[in-house]
Chain A
Amino acid sequence: MILKGIYYSRPTEQYLAVERAAVAERCPECGGDDVRRYPAFTSSGPKFVVKCQRCLALVRQEEPNIEEAHPPFWPLTRQWDCTRAG
Chain B
Amino acid sequence: MTDTAVVGSRSIRELSDAEFALRYRCDRITAEIIRNAMVMAVRHMTNALQRSSFSPIIRDQRDMACGIFEGAAENVDVVALAEGCMLHIATAPYNVREVVKEYGNENLRPGDVICCNDPYRGGNHILDVTLVRPVFVNGKPEFFTANRAHHNDMGGSNPGGWNGGSVSTIYQEGLRVGPTLLYADDRPVRSTFNLFLDNTRLPHNSLGDLRAQYGACVVGERLLHGLVEKYGLDVVKGAVEYVLDHGEQSMRAAIAAMPDGDFEFEDYLDDDGFETDKHIRYRCRAMIRGDRAELDFSGTERQCEGNISGVWSINASGAMIAFKMVVDPWTPLNAGAFRPVDLVFPAGSMTNCLPPTSHAASNVVSSERTASVVYGALAKAAPERAFAENLSSTGIVCWGGEDTRSGTPAPFVNMQLSFGSWGGTAASDGLPYCLSVVGNCSEIPVEILEIEYPFICLDKEFMIDTAGPGRFRGGPGITYTNRALVDCEVSLSCDRMRYGPWGLEGGGASLPQALYEIEEDDVPYRLGWSPVESLRPISGRFDEHGRADPRGGVYKTSKWSHRHLPAGTTLRITNAAGGGYGDPREREPWRVLEDVRNELVSREGARRNYGVVVKDDAWEVDEAATARLRVRLANDRASTLELDAWRDASWFETGSRG
Q: Which residues of A contact B (CB under 8 A)?
A: 5-8, 10-18, 38-46, 49, 51, 54-57, 69-73, 75, 78, 82-86
Q: Would A56 and B287 be within 8 Å (CB), given that A18-B296, A41-B345, A73-B120 are in contact?
A: yes
Q: Give the residues in chain A near B121, CB-CB below 8 Å.
A: 73, 75
The reply to whether A16 and B354 contact each other, CB–CB distance below 8 Å, is no
Q: How far is the CB of B117 from chain A (nearest CB, A)?
A: 14
Q: Bound complex: CA of A47 vs CA of B283, how far in Å?
A: 22
A41-B312, A73-B121, A73-B355 known; 16 other A-B pairs, CB under 8 Å?
Answer: A7-B355, A14-B302, A15-B301, A16-B349, A17-B299, A18-B347, A43-B77, A43-B93, A45-B74, A46-B312, A55-B289, A55-B290, A75-B102, A85-B184, A86-B114, A86-B180
The reply to whether A75 and B301 contact each other, CB–CB distance below 8 Å, is no
Check: B172 CB closer than 8 A to any chain A CB: no
**Which residue from B180, B298, B354, B355 sits with its C-beta under 8 Å from A18?**
B298
Q: Would A39 and B344 be within 8 Å (CB), given that A57-B292, A72-B120, A72-B352 are in contact?
A: yes
Q: Which residue of B lies closest to A41 (CB)?
A: B343
The reply to whether A40 and B301 contact each other, CB–CB distance below 8 Å, is no
Q: Which residue of A lies closest to B339 (CB)?
A: A43
Q: Bound complex: CA of A51 vs CA of B342, how far in Å?
A: 11
The reply to whether B292 and A40 contact each other, CB–CB distance below 8 Å, is no
Check: B160 CB closer than 8 A to any chain A CB: no
DSSP class of B's interface residues: helix, strand, loop or mixed?
mixed
- 348-363 of chain B: CB within 8 A of chain A: 348-349, 352-357
Q: Bound complex: CA of A39 vs CA of B294, how far in Å?
A: 12
Q: Which residue of A lies closest to B302 (CB)?
A: A11
The reply to whether A86 and B343 contact each other, CB–CB distance below 8 Å, is no
Q: Give the residues in chain A near B122, CB-CB below 8 Å.
A: 45
Q: Which residues of B contact A (CB under 8 A)?
A: 74-75, 77, 93-94, 97-98, 102-104, 107, 114, 120-122, 178-181, 184, 189, 281, 283, 287, 289-290, 292-294, 296, 298-303, 305, 312, 316, 335, 338-339, 341-349, 352-357
Q: How far is the CB of A51 from chain B (nearest CB, A)?
A: 8
**Which residue from A8, A17, A42, A55 sits with its C-beta under 8 Å from B342?**
A42
Q: Give the residues in chain B near A7, CB-CB below 8 Å.
A: 355-356
Q: Bound complex: CA of A19 vs CA of B300, how far in Å?
A: 14
Which of A14, A69, A70, A73 has the most C-beta atoms of chain B within 10 angstroms of its own C-beta?
A: A73
Sorted nearest first, the 9 A-B pairs with minimum C-beta distance are A43-B338, A73-B120, A17-B298, A16-B346, A8-B354, A11-B348, A56-B292, A41-B343, A16-B349
- Could you list 23 examples of A-B contacts with CB < 8 Å? A10-B348, A10-B354, A11-B303, A14-B302, A15-B301, A15-B302, A16-B302, A18-B296, A18-B298, A18-B344, A18-B345, A40-B294, A43-B339, A43-B341, A51-B294, A72-B347, A72-B353, A73-B121, A73-B355, A86-B103, A86-B107, A86-B114, A86-B179
Q: Bound complex: CA of A38 vs CA of B347, how far in Å?
A: 12
Q: Bound complex: CA of A39 vs CA of B351, how far in Å?
A: 14
Q: Would A82 and B104 be within 8 Å (CB), given that A18-B344, A40-B343, A56-B289 are in contact?
A: yes
Q: Give the residues in chain B near A85, CB-CB below 8 Å.
A: 181, 184, 189
The reply to whether B354 and A72 contact each other, CB–CB distance below 8 Å, is yes
Q: Bound complex: CA of A40 vs CA of B346, how far in Å?
A: 9
Q: Bound complex: CA of A17 vs CA of B264, how far in Å?
A: 14
The reply to whether B355 and A82 contact each other, CB–CB distance below 8 Å, is no
Q: Would A86 and B301 be within 8 Å (CB), given that A16-B348, A45-B94 are in contact?
A: no
The reply to whether B303 and A40 contact each other, CB–CB distance below 8 Å, is no
Q: Would A72 and B296 be within 8 Å (CB), given that A38-B344, A84-B107 are in contact?
A: no
**Which residue from A8, A51, A55, A84 sits with its C-beta under 8 Å from B355?**
A8
Q: Give the residues in chain A near B341, CB-CB below 8 Å.
A: 43
Q: Which residue of A lies closest to B77 (CB)?
A: A43
**Which residue from A12, A55, A69 sits with its C-beta under 8 Å from B347?**
A69
Q: Give the residues in chain B near A44, CB-CB below 8 Å.
A: 74-75, 97
Q: Bound complex: CA of A84 vs CA of B187, how far in Å?
A: 14
The reply to whether A10 and B347 contact each other, CB–CB distance below 8 Å, is no
The reply to whether A16 and B347 contact each other, CB–CB distance below 8 Å, is yes
Q: Give the residues in chain A near B303, CB-CB below 8 Å.
A: 10-11
Q: Which residue of A lies closest to B119 (CB)?
A: A73
Q: How far is the CB of B305 from chain A (nearest CB, A)?
A: 7
Q: Give the residues in chain B near A39, CB-CB below 8 Å.
A: 344, 347
Q: Give the residues in chain A near B348, CB-CB below 8 Å.
A: 8, 10-11, 16
Q: Bound complex: CA of A78 vs CA of B103, how far in Å?
A: 10
Q: Which residue of B lies closest to A85 (CB)?
A: B181
Q: Which residue of B lies closest to A68 (CB)?
A: B347
The reply to whether A15 and B300 contact each other, CB–CB distance below 8 Å, is yes
Q: How far is the CB of B611 from chain A (nearest CB, A)?
A: 41
Q: Bound complex: CA of A78 vs CA of B98, how far in Å?
A: 12
Q: Would A15 and B281 be within 8 Å (CB), given that A43-B339, A57-B292, A84-B184 are in contact?
A: yes
Q: Give the residues in chain A near B103, CB-CB below 8 Å.
A: 82, 86
The reply to whether B346 and A17 contact each other, CB–CB distance below 8 Å, is yes
Q: Bound complex: CA of A23 vs CA of B339, how far in Å?
A: 23
Q: Give the residues in chain B near A38, CB-CB below 8 Å.
A: 344
Q: Bound complex: CA of A83 vs CA of B109, how far in Å?
A: 12
Q: Bound complex: CA of A17 vs CA of B299, how far in Å?
A: 6
Q: Give the residues in chain A near B305, CB-CB below 8 Å.
A: 10
Q: How far is the CB of B116 from chain A (nearest CB, A)?
A: 10
Q: Give the residues in chain A near B75, CB-CB below 8 Å.
A: 44
Q: Which residue of B lies closest to A43 (CB)?
A: B338
Q: Bound complex: CA of A85 vs CA of B312, how far in Å?
A: 28
